[in-house]
Chains A and B, each alone.
Chain A
Amino acid sequence: MDLLRFTTAGSVDDGKSTLIGRLLYDSKSIFEDRLEAIERTSKASGETEVNLALLTDGLRAEREQKITIDVAYHYFATPQRKFIIADTPGHTQYTRNMVTGASTADLAIVLIDAQKGVLVQSRRHAFIASLLQIPHLVVAINKMDSVDYDEKVFDQIREEFTQFSAKLDMPDIVFIPISALKGDNIVQRSTHMPWYDGPTLLYLLEHVHVEPYKNLIDFRFPVQYVVRPHQQFRGFAGRVSSGAIRVGEPVKVLPSGKHSAVKAIVTYDGELEEARAGDSVVLTLEDEIDISRGDMLVRVHNTPVIGRQVDAYLCWMDETPMEPGRLYELWQTSHTGRASIGEVRYKMDMETMHRLPSGSLQLNDIALVSLQTTMPFFWDTYRQNQHTGSFILIDPDTHNTVAAGMVRQVNKESIADLPQAPAGKKSADVVWEGWNINRAQRESRNGHQAAVLWFTGLSGSGKSTIGRLLEQQLFDRGIQTMLLDGDHLRHGLCNDLGFSEADRSENIRRAAEVARLFYEQGNIVICTFISPFAKDRQQVRALIPEGRFLEVWANCDLDTAIARDPKGLYARALRGEIAHFTGINSPYEPPENPEITLHTATEDSEAAARRIIEKLTALGII
């Protein structure tokens, strides 16, 4: 391709504008009148040298405040190539701008000031480049003139960056020592750095191999528009997202699943034998099939995954934070629908690249989330296919584009996020219909998320006491709650069960199903059951989505529990009057990785309840 789209990011002082100015200037892409205009402006604002940054700052507010506000696109050409620069400012909305610029780039330039070394922003930009799967990364170590063109400085920065980038998914990284101000290694090879034997920046930009439409294998044709000039012609207009198709080859239509074959590939300039990734064409089919915008033509044996549930990296781009459970519009290719964010699995801390737990997303946040759509979409992962693996979310009220998403994993068509009841026990006649009003809607009305807090521990360990206190405090905050206690259930729903191991397991299974119903109703469900067996608790955990199930271990030594003995049960068990009593003549298997551990022998109930509320807040549940 003789077109290279690349992105540069940086803040005011790292020399980004100077670099762009240098590329435009040395490739003779700055016109005289524009140069005259910036000379006039530089003089007027009292600067001694011509400020090349003025070339790139387009808006009045930007010139006045000497900052860059929005992504700007610059164009230059050399005899080898045409270049489009997406110049993304690092000022505010940095992630939003970087992601926007990176979404159409084939190469990213990360600028590092040789005096300052690798900064947070350099790491952030490299991370975004890897997240958006930009195939080439150039680390331009700038201002080499200010460190006496010292090879050691260059090596040190390269070493530091390489250590960091090992964590990223970045196939091609090139380091170039430059001085944008003096022009070293930009267009002309520097005479100050004989130790560097790599390419100049422009040489690299001119010769790096790029392919804007990278996936040439998997044929995907999202129908954009139906062309119907008269009754005899019905053509499907669109741009091939990936792969290729030839006249006569069989195709399948999604979502209908109907089969046909390509009759013709129509363009204004005549019919084609083949349409390839990136081509805007009109396809006609051998059969009369009802197809409209949002449908997709694919090969019969190479289809995307059809599903309503994806895990995706999401970049939040709006001033208004993400609202868990709210329905946003989701646009992917020409297909639009609605989606809600079920769960934020983790948020990236861009300073440390650590994964942080989080419940909500703010402007500039990047997180891995689970997402549910109200209708099936046709997905590929972003890694496989940039076009069918990317999407945007739109706020249904403001119509703003609030997030950009990249699909990491697609779950095949499944019902909501509810696992099916265990096979074998299910009646064949029972058909799962899905909830009438879904949890997301209830959560949206309640103003908090639903969750299940599962207290486990010995009898007398304080589960019920703390559970009741906790419920009262949540209730006082206006939160929808439900308390399920072992004794409650055994008086009604489970009054047919004894205390054998099998009956205890069944008791827990029923308790878990009830908890799930209350959970789906949007409650914070507090369950206090001894639940001594790890496998039973594991089953409960499997019923509730990850992140919404919190195991709370009321950890208390047996002696303290026996000393408390609030119901006199230990005394009876010790006298041999109760069989299968946990801790006495039946085992208790402590949780291995509980979300919360309470030390109930020493910690008072108030403190324990407070810790749980803090945890719920930190997770964004309340």
Chain B
Amino acid sequence: MSANNDYLTFLENEAIYVFREVAAQFARPVILFSGGKDSIVLVHLAKKAFYPARIPFPLLHIDTGHNFPEILDFRDELAREAGVELLVGSVQEAIDKGRVKEETGPYASRNTLQIVTLLDALKTYQVDAAIGGGRRDEEKARAKERFFSHRDAFGQWDPKNQRPELWNLFNGKKHPGEHFRVFPLSNWTELDVWTYIAREKIQLPPLYFSHSRQVFWRDKVLYGDTPFMVHLPGEEIFEAQVRFRTIGDATCTGAIFSEATTIQDVIEEVIAFRTTERGTRGDDKRSESAMEDRKRVGYF
């Protein structure tokens, strides 16, 4: 490894340590898999943590039904290659069963509906540790997250009453029904993730690189046009060279204009960025505390 990125090795060692703590302390962990680059990096780190054994827990994907099709293919291939079980929690199913009510209108998104499906899935599979790709640099509420973040029996986060986390001692003790969210990438930044992807030559879905797509503007976010989107009057659809900085539900993930076709191009772009990654997310723009409010009730 080159001298100018040995902190990546530090971050890698730390993440591997966290994965092994999860395997040792919990009975039924899952890796929350969104198809986004952070969860792909998570799977890569999990492979390293348990090599030569396989990853000892399944992937859990919360499927909003509004996916970019490329992501589902990528997901299936990744699970097959890593030899891990793939669990899917379906938002569509929850809607059909009447567990949640679909939002309507042009701003409708299934983002909030995921919370119910996620908590249902955690309950169904009796998950006691859900490993996510959340990073502290993403958003100011996340800056206060622990590596091991306690959730009560209703999946709620109490940010004012978190356990202190000292040295590398992660307290995963819980009462029946409670669970933990675990964030091995806590200390990583967006640039660290990209630099690591480049160093490790990790495969990503093509959406992360420049491609041609039908897009339109709404509230300063550039959305890809998908069959799930309802258009407002005056919204003009046009074709552009774009890529995605984050990937989630297609109805709330914004694209950026980009010519970056390789990881190196992307890294240069990230260094030059003057807006945060989550600035392309419609779900965070709902209010100043949008992220904190969703996290409190059980969001990723």
Taking Cβ atoms with an 8 Å cutoff, the residues of A that contact B are 1-3, 31-34, 37, 41, 55-61, 63, 69-75, 77, 82, 84, 96-97, 99-100, 103-104, 212, 224-225, 227-229, 233, 235, 237-239, 266-269, 278-280, 282, 293, 317, 329, 331-332, 334, 386-387, 390-392, 394, 399-401, 404
A103 x B288 contact (CB < 8 A): no
- With A33-B275, A59-B159: A401-B164 Cβ-Cβ less than 8 Å: yes
Cα distance, A225 to B19, chains bound together (Å): 10
| 16 further A-B pairs in the complex, CB-CB below 8 A; given A104-B166, A227-B52 | A1-B6, A37-B288, A58-B140, A63-B288, A70-B144, A70-B159, A73-B144, A75-B136, A75-B187, A104-B167, A227-B53, A238-B20, A268-B48, A278-B13, A331-B169, A400-B163
B137 x A75 contact (CB < 8 A): yes
Q: Within 8 Å CB of B166, what residues of A?
A: 99-100, 103-104, 390, 392, 401, 404
Which of the 9-residue segments B70-78, B84-92, B171-179, B238-246 touches chain A?
A: B171-179
B164 x A60 contact (CB < 8 A): no
**B274: nearest chain-A partner, CB-CB:** A32
Q: Within 8 Å CB of B13, what residues of A?
A: 239, 278-280
Minimum CB–CB distance for A402 against chain B, Å: 9
Give B217-241 as 1s and 0s: 1 = Cβ < 8 Å from A's Cβ atoms: 0000000000000000000000000
Q: Is B49 an interface residue (CB 8 A)?
A: yes
Q: Within 8 Å CB of B3, what residues of A?
A: 2
Cα distance, A279 to B50, chains bound together (Å): 14
Which of B6, B142, B288 has a CB less than 8 Å from the CB of A41?
Answer: B288
| Most chain B beta-carbon neighbours within 10 Å: one of A73, A238, A267 | A73
A34 x B24 contact (CB < 8 A): no
Cα distance, A227 to B56, chains bound together (Å): 10
Q: Within 8 Å CB of B144, what residues of A?
A: 58-59, 70-73
Q: Within 8 Å CB of B12, what residues of A?
A: 280
Q: Is B292 an interface residue (CB 8 A)?
A: yes
Cα distance, A362 to B51, chains bound together (Å): 45
A31 x B162 contact (CB < 8 A): no
Which of B52, B173, B273 has a CB less than 8 Å from the CB of A229?
Answer: B52
Minimum CB–CB distance for B47 against chain A, Å: 6
Minimum CB–CB distance for B252 against chain A, Å: 16
How many residues on B have C-beta within 8 angstroms of the other chain's C-beta atoms? 58
Q: Within 8 Å CB of B95, what residues of A?
A: none
Minimum CB–CB distance for A35 against chain B, Å: 9
**B293: nearest chain-A partner, CB-CB:** A60
A387 x B168 contact (CB < 8 A): yes
Which of B5, B49, B168 has a CB less than 8 Å from the CB of A237?
Answer: B49
Which of A61, A73, A266, A279 has a CB less than 8 Å from the CB of B136?
Answer: A73
Q: Is B124 an interface residue (CB 8 A)?
A: no
B17 x A280 contact (CB < 8 A): yes
Q: Within 8 Å CB of A235, what residues of B?
A: 52
- With A59-B141, A229-B53, A390-B167: A2-B4 Cβ-Cβ less than 8 Å: yes
B136 x A267 contact (CB < 8 A): no
Which of A2, A75, A280, A317 has a CB less than 8 Å from the CB of B49?
Answer: A280
**B4: nearest chain-A partner, CB-CB:** A2
Q: Within 8 Å CB of B54, what residues of A?
A: 229
Which of B162, B169, B293 has a CB less than 8 Å from the CB of A392?
Answer: B169
Q: Is B191 an interface residue (CB 8 A)?
A: yes
Q: Within 8 Å CB of B293, what residues of A?
A: 60
**B136: nearest chain-A partner, CB-CB:** A73
24 contacts between A and B (CB under 8 A): A1-B10, A2-B3, A3-B10, A31-B274, A34-B276, A58-B144, A59-B160, A59-B292, A72-B140, A72-B143, A73-B186, A77-B189, A77-B191, A82-B7, A82-B189, A225-B20, A227-B52, A227-B53, A229-B52, A266-B51, A280-B12, A280-B14, A331-B169, A399-B173
Cα distance, A2 to B6, chains bound together (Å): 7
Which of B49, B165, B168 has a CB less than 8 Å from the CB of A100?
Answer: B165
Q: Is B289 an interface residue (CB 8 A)?
A: yes
Give B258-283 as 1s and 0s: 1 = Cβ < 8 Å from A's Cβ atoms: 00000000000000011110010000
**B7: nearest chain-A partner, CB-CB:** A3
- With A268-B48, A387-B167: A60-B143 Cβ-Cβ less than 8 Å: no
Cα distance, A227 to B144, chains bound together (Å): 32
Cα distance, A59 to B143, chains bound together (Å): 9
Q: Is B23 an interface residue (CB 8 A)?
A: yes
Cα distance, A97 to B275, chains bound together (Å): 30
Q: Within 8 Å CB of A279, what residues of B?
A: 13
Q: Within 8 Å CB of B289, what residues of A?
A: 60
- With A3-B10, A34-B276: A266-B189 Cβ-Cβ less than 8 Å: no
Q: Within 8 Å CB of A400, what residues of B?
A: 163
Minimum CB–CB distance for A455 against chain B, Å: 45
Cα distance, A103 to B273, chains bound together (Å): 33
Cα distance, A3 to B171, chains bound together (Å): 25
Which of A1, A282, A392 has a CB less than 8 Å from the CB of B51?
Answer: A282
B143 x A33 contact (CB < 8 A): no
Cα distance, A199 to B48, chains bound together (Å): 41
| Most chain B beta-carbon neighbours within 10 Å: one of A56, A225, A282 | A225
Minimum CB–CB distance for B4 against chain A, Å: 6
Q: Within 8 Å CB of A63, what residues of B?
A: 288
Cα distance, A255 to B184, chains bound together (Å): 30
Cα distance, A228 to B53, chains bound together (Å): 6
B164 x A317 contact (CB < 8 A): yes
B169 x A391 contact (CB < 8 A): yes
Q: Within 8 Å CB of B288, what residues of A?
A: 37, 41, 60, 63
Minimum CB–CB distance for B80 against chain A, Å: 18
